[in-house]
Amino acid sequence: MSELTTVARPYAKAAFDFAVEHGALQEWQNMLFFAAAVAEHDNMRTFLKSAVGRDQTASVFISVCGEQLDEKGQNFIKVLAANERLSTLPAVAQAYIALRADYDNEVSVDVTSAVALDKEQQAKLSAALEKRLARKVKLNCSVNPEIIGGLLIQAGDTVIDGTLKSKLAKLAYSLQS
């Protein structure tokens, strides 16, 4: 997976730089996500693995995407096809999102709790995380009753594990030592 990310990063950076230069961040994000969805489709995956020519691959891919790609987006697809990198589009889209979040000074935070958080709890948590991380926070909340209580918060490489399950596991370990 890291190899795919390494391959996708320069393409995402090029698309992002172009989008910033032309004030088209959201348009490029939409194009990349649509193209990534096309690339992930089973029939398209099979087609991309087949031994057709690069020009033919690009034209078929662009025709499938239709009007979802503007002229610059089509040129981007042609470059990816010429370098046999169309299958990396999902990773390119994810890398683009990371670049955009950094540019917008945002961070996506995954929050797992034992029970669903209400709007007030989410607002308080978001405010506290914005203060701690010094960035705008976008919460992605999920429920996992197995953590028993507390929160598991993941923001990029930062993990805050305040779950009752992990505290019990640490206690059990220390009692066994």
- Model confidence at 108, pLDDT cuts 50, 70, 90, reads confident
What does the pLDDT read at residue 31?
95
CA 80 to chain centre: 19
DSSP 75-107: HHHHHHHHTT-GGGHHHHHHHHHHHHHHHTTEE
Please report, rounded to a whole number, the percentage of residues in the chain having pLDDT higher than 90: 59
What does the pLDDT read at residue 107?
86
Report residue 46 as tokens: 């099979």
Residue the block writes with tokens 């019990």:
168
* Res. 1: pLDDT tops 70: no
What does the pLDDT read at residue 109?
92
Domains of the chain with CATH codes: 2-101 (1.10.520.20), 105-176 (3.40.30)
Residues 73 and 96: beta-carbon distance below 8 Å: no
* Res. 136: pLDDT tops 70: yes
Task: Kindly report, residue by residue over 48-73, the tens digit of the pLDDT.
Answer: 888 678 788 888 999 998 899 999 99
State whether the Cα torsion 144-146-148-153 is positive or negative.
negative
Average pLDDT, the chain: 90
Mean pLDDT for the stretch of residues 27-46: 92
* pTM over the 0.95 mark: no
Residue the block writes with tokens 């662009």:
62
What does the pLDDT read at residue 51?
62
What does the pLDDT read at residue 2?
65
Task: Kindly report, residue by residue over 68-89, the tens digit of the pLDDT.
Answer: 999 999 999 999 999 989 989 9
